[in-house]
Amino acid sequence: MPPDGSRPLVSIVVPVYRDTPQLAGLLDALAADRLDARVEVVVVNGDAADRSLQALRRRFAAVRWIDSEPGRGRQMNAGARASSGRWLLFLHADARLGAGWLSALAEVDERPDVAGGAYRLTLASPHWAARVIERGVAIRTRRLRLPYGDQAIFVRRAGFDALGGYRPLGLMEDVDFIGRLRRRGRLWFPNVPVRVSARRWERDGWFRRTALNLALLGLYAAGVAPERLARWYYGPRPAAPARRASTVGVHEGR
């Protein structure tokens, strides 16, 4: 790995599992931002047999493409190992970083007391319920210091390595990681949006999905094993919790 002075400021790590349309939109958005040498992008594919990514691999040759075992935690760890940025930013394929996200990271890079943080969740929907959920997320983030994975969690590489990265949990790997990161240093939440698809709320019902997410978080806090929660949530099919890399884990849309 190159010395700190020659590393990119940030490595964006995107775990995917059969998310080609969403990933194409994300890579187009990042390309439109005309990112410079301060940023590298690493896509971690959890399904090596998925041939739908081949065209994207050719089109976005500057992206670092790697394959790994499925599961969001495993994939994010693999992406971190393959990257070289001083900061790691874990981004979902259906999320879009808002204006100012890179400037915010450059600012926090000069603040050694900050171990990591996340951006402000916004939902890609005009529905009034989306605004209610956004406010609830903002309150949870500020008061509990608990962002979820779809808020584009960022962390200093040194801190990530010291914590051993994400644990390979069936569910709640982001909550577990943030709990450990809080003990390492201060978390910072810049007023920069990350816009996330609302398709899962629209499919399942705004308040039904939100209530389910809160119930799962409460059960996890009460000590229920993440693997059991994953079985309850995904049903009897054993492959689903391990392989839905872009949807497994705690994030507002699940």
Encode pLDDT of 2-26 as tens digits. 556 678 999 999 999 998 999 999 9
How far apart, in Å, do the first and last CA atoms of the chain sit? 34
Q: Between residues 49 and 114, which one has the greater pLDDT?
A: 114
Which helix (H) or strand (E) segment holds residue 101: the answer is: helix 101-108
Domains in the chain, ordered, with CATH?
Answer: 4-243 (3.90.550.10)
* Whole-number pLDDT of residue 250: 37
- Name the amino acid, one letter, at 88: L
Average pLDDT of the segment spanning 217-244 = 72
Average pLDDT of the segment spanning 25-53 = 92
Residue 39: pLDDT above 80?
A: yes
**Could you read off the pLDDT of 100-125 as tens digits, one per residue?**
999 999 999 999 999 999 999 999 99
Which helix (H) or strand (E) segment holds residue 115: the answer is: strand 114-117
Query: b/e string for 37-73 if b means 16 or more Cβ within 10 A?
Result: ebbbbbbbbbbeeeeebeebeeebeebbebbbbbbbb
Q: At 161, is the secondary structure helix, strand, or coil?
A: helix
* Whole-number pLDDT of residue 192: 97
Percent of the chain with pLDDT over 90: 74
* Whole-number pLDDT of residue 249: 37
DSSP state of 98: P
Q: At 217, is the secondary structure helix, strand, or coil?
A: helix
